[in-house]
C-alpha cells in the first residue's frame, strides 16, 4: 500500500507544503481550456507529459500533499482511508489515455515521479518513459545496472536487496529495488532522457503534481527559454503557475477523456494480458533504458542547442528553437545538467517554501 511505501522511507522532516485547498474550474472554463489544450497538442511537434501522484488517486492510491494525502494526514497523526495494494492497483483512465496519445503520436515522452508502476502496467513502452523516483515493480542489478520487471511489488524501498541474483548471472550481481529514499541520486539514464526531452519539448504538460520536488519539478520549465509552452493540470496551485501558458483545475481523468474524445481517439481499457507485471508474461523481462536511445536523443539535443546558439549570435530577440532548420550534428557531449540539479538529488525545493518537505 502507498502508505506502507511512505513508512519504509527514512525519517525526513521537510515533506513540503501540505493540504492546500483544491480549486475547480467551472464547466465552461474547462471546455474552453480543453479546446486550447487540444489546439496546442495538434500544433506541437514534441510533447512531453510530466506525471505526479495525482494521476493515480482514482486507482485507489492516495497522493501525498492533497487535502487527504499521505503526508497531509501524517501531520495530523492519521492514515489515508482509501488505500489499495500496489499489486491490486490497475492503471487509470489517465494512464491508458497517455498510452493512446503516445501510440497516436500526440505525446512523445512521459516523465513520471510515481513509483506505483501503473505506467508499466498500462504497457507504455520503456522507450517513452523516464521514472525519476523508481518503480515498485522493477529490480536492478547492482553490478550490470540492468533492470528487470517483477510480478509483485518489491517488499523493500531505498535500493535494498529484494530479488536474489541477477538473471544475467553477473559475478556477484544482486537485484535491488530501485525506489529512491530521501536525497538519493536520481537514476542517471532516466534523468538524462527526462532533461533532454523536457528541453526539446515545444509543449510540456504536467498532470497531477504540485512540482515541489527538485529536480523533477523544474524539468517542465526547461523549454521556456526557447519559447516553449507549459500547461499545468492540477487541483492545487503549483509553484510554477505564474510561468504556465495554460492552467486547468479539474480531475486529470476528465481532462484526458475530453482531449481524446476531441481528437477522435478511443481510450483503451486496461488489459491484464498486456501487463508486463502479470505472472503469465515472460519472467525477468528487461526494463533498461538502452544507451542507443540516449545517444540518438543527445544528437537531437546538441543540434537544437547549436541552432539556438547560432540565433543568439545573430542577435535574434526571439529564438525559433523548435522550427529552425536542423544544423550539422555536434560531436560534443551533452552539457552537464544545471548546477545543483546535475547531482540529481531526490529532495524538495526549499527555496520558495521555508517549511517544505518531499512528495512523489
Known binding residues for Zn(2+) are: 141, 144, 166, 170
Catalytic residue status for 95: no
| Contact by Cβ (8 Å): 153, 86 | yes
Q: How far apart are the first and last CA of the chain?
A: 14
HEC string for 202-232: CEEEEECCCCCEECHHHHHHCCHHHCCEEEE
Q: Three cell numbers at 280?
A: 503469465
What is d(CA 272, CA 1) in angstroms, rounded to the nearest whole number?
20
Give me the residues paired with residue 231 across strands: 205, 246
Q: Is the peptide bond before 124 cis (omega within 30 degrees of 0)?
A: no
What is d(CA 319, CA 309) in angstroms, rounded to the nearest whole number?
9
H or E, element range at 205: strand 203-207
Question: Which of the following is catalytic: 133, 184, 240, 346?
Answer: 133
What is d(CA 321, CA 195) in angstroms, rounded to the nearest whole number?
16
What is d(CA 342, CA 199) in angstroms, rounded to the nearest whole number?
14
Q: Which residues are catalytic?
A: 133
Amino acid at each position: 500500500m502507498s502508505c506502507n511505501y511512505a513508512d519504509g522511507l527514512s525519517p525526513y522532516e521537510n515533506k513540503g507544503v501540505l493540504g492546500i485547498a483544491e480549486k475547480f474550474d467551472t464547466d465552461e472554463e474547462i471546455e474552453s481550456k480543453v479546446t486550447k489544450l487540444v489546439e496546442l497538442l495538434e500544433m506541437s511537434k514534441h510533447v512531453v507529459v510530466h506525471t505526479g501522484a495525482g494521476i493515480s488517486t482514482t486507482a485507489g492510491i492516495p497522493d501525498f500533499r492533497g487535502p487527504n494525502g499521505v503526508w497531509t494526514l501524517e501531520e495530523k497523526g492519521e492514515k489515508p482511508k482509501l488505500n489499495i495494494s500496489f499489486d491490486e492497483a490497475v492503471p487509470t483512465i489517465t494512464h491508458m489515455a497517455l498510452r493512446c496519445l503516445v501510440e497516436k503520436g500526440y505525446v512523445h515522452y512521459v516523465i513520471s515521479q510515481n513509483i506505483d508502476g501503473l505506467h508499466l502496467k498500462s504497457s507504455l513502452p520503456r522507450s517513452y518513459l523516464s521514472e525519476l523516483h523508481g518503480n515498485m515493480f522493477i529490480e536492478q542489478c547492482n553490478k550490470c545496472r540492468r533492470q528487470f520487471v517483477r510480478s509483485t511489488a518489491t517488499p523493500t524501498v531505498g535500493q535494498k536487496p529484494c530479488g536474489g541474483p541477477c538473471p544475467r548471472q553477473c559475478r556477484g550481481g544482486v537485484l535491488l529495488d530501485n525506489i529512491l529514499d530521501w536525497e538519493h541520486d536520481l537514476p542517471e539514464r532516466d534523468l538524462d532522457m527526462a532533461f533532454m526531452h523536457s528541453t526539446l519539448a515545444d509543449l510540456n504538460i504536467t498532470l497531477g503534481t504540485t512540482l515541489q520536488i527538485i529536480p523533477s519539478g523544474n524539468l517542465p520549465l526547461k523549454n521556456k527559454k526557447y519559447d516553449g509552452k507549459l500547461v499545468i493540470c492540477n487541483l492545487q496551485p503549483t509553484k510554477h503557475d505564474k510561468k504556465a501558458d495554460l492552467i486547468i483545475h479539474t480531475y486529470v481523468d476528465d481532462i484526458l477523456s475530453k482531449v481524446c474524445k476531441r481528437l477522435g481517439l478511443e481510450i483503451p481499457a486496461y488489459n491484464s494480458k498486456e501487463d508486463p507485471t502479470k505472472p503469465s508474461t515472460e519472467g525477468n523481462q528487461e526494463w533498461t533504458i538502452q544507451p542507443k536511445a540516449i545517444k540518438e536523443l543527445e544528437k537531437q539535443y546538441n543540434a537544437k542547442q547549436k541552432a539556438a546558439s547560432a540565433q543568439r549570435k545573430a542577435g535574434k530577440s526571439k529564438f525559433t528553437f523548435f522550427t529552425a532548420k536542423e544544423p550539422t550534428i555536434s560531436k560534443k557531449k551533452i552539457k552537464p545538467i544545471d548546477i545543483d540539479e546535475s547531482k540529481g538529488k531526490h529532495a524538495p525545493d526549499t527555496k520558495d517554501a521555508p517549511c517544505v518537505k518531499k512528495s512523489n
